[in-house]
Amino acid sequence: MSTLVMKFGGTSVGDAAAFAQVSQIVSEHVRGGDRVIGVVSAMSGVTDDLTRGIVKAVAGDEEGYLRVCDSLRARHMNVITELITDERSRAELTETIDGLIDEYDSLCASVRVLGEVTPRSMDAALSRGERMSARILSALLQQDGVKSEAVDATELIVTDATFGNAALIAQPTREQITSHLVPLLDAGVTPVVTGFIAATENGVTTTLGRGGSDYTAAIIGDALDADAVWIFTDVDGVMTADPRVVPDARVIPVISYTEVGELAYFGAKVLHPRTIRPVIEREIPVWVKNTFHPKRPGTRIERTPRNTDGTVKAVTMITDLTMINVMGRGMVGVPGIAGRTFSAVARANANVLMISQASSEQSICLAVPTKSAPAVVTSLEETLAYELHRRDIDRIWSQDGLVIITAVGAGVRDTPGIDARIFGALGGAGINVIAIAQGSSECSVSLVVGSCDATRAVQQIHKEVINHGK
């Protein structure tokens, strides 16, 4: 008998068929004797829809937000009509969902009157999506013969009042999860908990940030000392590359927490590593699995990198980048220029994806998203105006149309010659590398190439260091 936290993302509860599939996965495990805690996201796209409705309300567009209400109602009602056969439970569930959408409607109405929305009311609005999906899944489980109860995470997870991205308060959370969920589990009830949402100590609804349901699952897994946390999604696990770019990309069987972190940072659409930290620290295994093929093994995420076969596990790319160069002979040995360069970038609110400094100290290069490049250049010119005037810095210039390609794997650190093989593969294909940086965790190496070479570069690296000999 294991205690399993199973988190189902938006696409896993995207329509009636998906809900039915989820119910089947959960009930199979419950019948097999496992204690299961379900954690659900809102149906796919619902959090975006709820946001859109509020935005329309702020703009005074009553018709607009009412349309959002109607479509949300219709979408959830369709699922209920299709799945819930017992008339009484269908009526009950319909009333609950109606009530939740009515409340959302009133929230939009007041936002429209005020002409503005506070982060606090935004969270109240967004919390409706998970409240609805949790209730539907719980009702479906009961219909499928599993005793179940929907639980709002506002009763379990305590946070500060940073609406939109609230910070966990660990101790009371741990206590509430234990005191609420353990008695349910002991009574043979399967709780279905809303992902993403929480509450302040005073009971005001907050959210954990977009994509926060993974975090909910990890917080619960930690508090209950679960045997495993399973993150169900619509792909087979973490892949060696984006299958649209590399057709023979494969699922990675085991990957470490640090490697997942690098992957997420460098553009792969996997779970955010911060969100699973609570369970990783306790060495509770986390699995990424496919809801629609639950028998496939998926990817196991572990705390410490095990050097499995090969050396590089995955290759990713981030597109639409600009490289900004600060160059000048007068920078040599002058302390503080790098520091001021970075403060200037921070003031422009840009996300720096890669930095490299030539050891001659005559230049610093930064890769930033192209859309923030003009602001960064302006901010740098202002901050370094004196050095530019004195000609200590010759110029600040930028180059658009670039892509960062990152090879991730614990083996990058301790396999001699891996860099050489990567460069060899690119050189052989006639691809020019514009800049290089080694990740600070030392489990990745990043290269900047032109957009036109990006796909080929990913394919070449995948072929040379991931699929080599396969």
Torsion angle, alpha carbons of 108, 112, 118, 119, to 10:
40
212 binds Mg ion (CB under 5 A): no
Angle at 49 between CA 10 and CA 212, to 5 degrees: 45
214 or 453: whose CB is closer to ligand ASP?
Answer: 214
Q: How many CB atoms lie within 10 A of CB 173?
A: 21
User: Which one among 10, 14, 53, 439 touches ligand ASP, defined by CB under 6 A?
Assistant: 10
Minimum CB distance to ligand ASP, residue 246 (Å): 27
Q: According to the binding rule CB under 6 A, does residue 38 interact with ligand ASP?
A: no
The SS3 call for residue 430 is: coil
Please identify which residue in 196, 230, 257, 266 interacts with ligand ASP, judged by CB under 6 A. 196
Does 10 engage in binding with Mg ion (CB under 5 A)? Answer: yes
Spatial separation of the C-alpha atoms in residues 240 and 307, rounded to whole Å? 15
Q: Is 211 in the site for ligand ASP (CB under 6 A)?
A: yes
Rounded to 5°, angle at Cα 277 from 275 and 279: 110
Helix 87-114 to helix 46-58 angle (10° resolution) is 40
What contacts 353, CB < 8 A, 6 or more positions away? 266, 318, 321, 367, 368, 369, 404
In the set 11, 27, 41, 383, which binds ligand ASP (CB under 6 A)? 41
Binding segment for Mg ion (CB under 5 A), chosen from 3-11, 131-139, 335-343, 383-391, is: 3-11
9 touching Mg ion, by CB under 5 A: yes
Closest of 248, 185, 197 to residue 470, by C-alpha? 248
What minimum distance in Å lies between the beta carbon of 389 and Mg ion?
A: 50
Site string for ligand ASP, 85-124 (x = CB under 6 A): ----------------------------------------
CB of 418 to Mg ion, least distance (A): 34
Phi, psi for 136 (deg, rounded to 5): -65, -45
Residue 42 engages ligand ASP in binding (rule: CB under 6 A)? yes
Contacting residue, 212, 278, 409, 439, with ligand ASP by CB under 6 A: 212
The size of the interface with ligand ASP (CB under 6 A), counted in residues, is: 12
Query: In whole angstroms, how close is the CB of 211 to ligand ASP at the nearest point?
Result: 4
Contact 397, 381 (CB under 8 A): no
Which tokens sit at 201? 């100590």
The token duo for 274 is 């911060």
Q: Which is nearer to Mg ion, 176 or 213 (CB)?
A: 213
Token readout for 403 is 């892509």
Residue 210 binds which of Mg ion, ligand ASP, none (CB < 5-8 A, kind-dependent):
ligand ASP
Smallest gap from Cβ 399 to ligand ASP, in A, equals 34
Binding mask 136-175 for ligand ASP (x = CB under 6 A): ----------------------------------------
Phi and psi at 18, nearest 5°, equal: -65, -45
State yes or no: residue 273 binds ligand ASP (CB under 6 A).
no
The mark string for 37-66 relative to Mg ion (x by CB under 5 A, - otherwise) is ----x-------------------------
SS3 405: strand
In 262-386, DSSP assigns E strands to 286-290, 299-302, 314-327, 354-357, 363-369
Q: Does 129 bind ligand ASP (CB under 6 A)?
A: yes
Distance, C-alpha 72 to centroid of its chain: 24
Which of ligand ASP, Mg ion, none does residue 53 bind to, with CB < 5 to 8 Å depending on kind? none
CB 230 within 8 A of CB 290: no
Cα–Cα distances (Å) from 180 to 155, 174, 183, in that order, read 8, 10, 6
Identity of the residue, 210 or 277, whose beta carbon is nearer to ligand ASP in the bound complex: 210
Binding site residues, ligand ASP, CB under 6 A: 9-10, 41-42, 47, 129, 195-196, 210-213
